[in-house]
């Protein structure tokens, strides 16, 4: 991996996790700690991160936590449409899982009209927003806090989902590849997403078209993990056919 590619992957990881230690990045990218320090110096000079002893954190983290704002806010017009469409698949009285993410969070306003809904989630912003809605019962997982996504992650968070049942899971992703499958910037989220998938009868993947063809660092598994893919109208006919050939139903949000 070239230095510039590695720095982009490091930044992608920090935008997901919020912070990272030099020694962990060194192991993850199989380079020396001095090399990682040079990468972090470069990213700090470009204004993305703040270095601290033994590691670094994303520069926007303090503001995000104080304002409860998410990091990944690209293509929000498409994400809002996808979120509204996804909410149409939820019926009164269901038990559903909402994964943390900027697209899944866009389901919240539409879900407020549902009656007797039970929502399980690892996203603190979703907990706070849906928790104020009458006739909606919200269950939150524990785990390690991730400021950029306002979520909790890790094995503790995964344990929360082991003994539950949900009719539907609305899943987020970092990247979608026909070869690599569903990928994410870091490994910690894989535990949670695997646990969510195991207890859900039906899995909906929510992502705008920019995620198709993107490959992040850690692989969750192939596209056979999902039943329905809800995306925007920018998807090409060829890509849509490839999803359908793999047995995945494609829903276009407009």
Question: What local confidence, expressed as pLDDT, does residue 74 receive?
Answer: 77
Burial track 198-224 (b if 16+ CB lie within 10 A, e otherwise): ebbeebbbbbbbebbeeebbbbbeebe
Q: What is the pLDDT of residue 71?
A: 67
Whole-number Å distance between alpha carbons of 154 and 52: 23
Tokens of 78: 């498409």
pLDDT in tens, the chain (254 residues): 788 988 988 888 888 788 889 998 998 889 999 999 999 999 999 998 889 889 998 888 787 777 777 766 778 899 999 999 999 999 999 999 999 999 999 999 999 999 999 999 999 999 999 998 988 999 999 988 988 888 999 899 999 998 899 999 999 999 999 999 999 987 888 999 999 999 999 999 999 999 999 888 889 999 999 999 999 999 999 999 999 999 999 999 99
Measured CA to CA, the distance from residue 30 to residue 55 in angstroms comes to: 16
pLDDT value of residue 147: 86
Domains of the chain: 3-59 (1.10.10.10), 76-253 (3.40.50.1360)
Q: What is the DSSP string of 98-163?
A: E-SSTTGGGGHHHHTT-SSEEEEESBHHHHHHHTTSTTEEEEE--SEEEGGGTEEESHHHHHHTTT
pTM for this one?
0.84
What pLDDT is stored for residue 67 in this prediction? Answer: 77
Q: Which of 214, 217, 247, 213 is nearest to 229 (CA)?
A: 247
């Amino acid at each position: 991996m070239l230095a510039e590619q590695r720095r982009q992957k490091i930044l992608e990881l920090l935008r997901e996790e919020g912070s990272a230690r030099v020694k962990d990045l060194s192991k993850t990218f199989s380079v020396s700690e001095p090399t990682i320090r040079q990468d972090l110096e470069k990213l700090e000079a470009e204004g993305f991160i703040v270095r601290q002893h033994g590691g670094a954190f994303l520069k926007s983290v303090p503001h995000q936590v104080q304002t409860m704002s998410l990091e990944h806010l690209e293509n929000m017009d498409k994400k809002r449409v996808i979120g509204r469409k996804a909410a149409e698949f939820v019926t009164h009285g269901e038990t559903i899982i909402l994964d943390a993410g900027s697209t899944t969070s866009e389901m919240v306003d539409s879900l407020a009209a549902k009656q007797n809904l039970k929502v399980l989630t690892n996203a603190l912003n979703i907990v706070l927003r849906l928790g104020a809605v009458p006739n909606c019962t919200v269950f939150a997982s524990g785990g390690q806090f991730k400021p950029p996504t306002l979520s909790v992650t890790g094995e503790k968070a995964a344990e929360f989902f082991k003994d539950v049942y949900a009719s539907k899971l609305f899943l987020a992703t970092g990247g979608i590849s026909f070869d690599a499958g569903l990928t994410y910037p870091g490994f910690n989220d894989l535990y949670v997403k695997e646990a969510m998938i195991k207890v859900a009868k039906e899995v909906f993947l929510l992502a705008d078209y920019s995620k198709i063809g993107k490959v992040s660092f850690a692989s969750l598994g192939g596209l056979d993990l999902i039943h329905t893919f809800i995306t925007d109208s920018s998807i090409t006919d060829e890509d849509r056919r490839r999803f359908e050939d793999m047995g995945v139903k494609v829903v276009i949000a407009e």
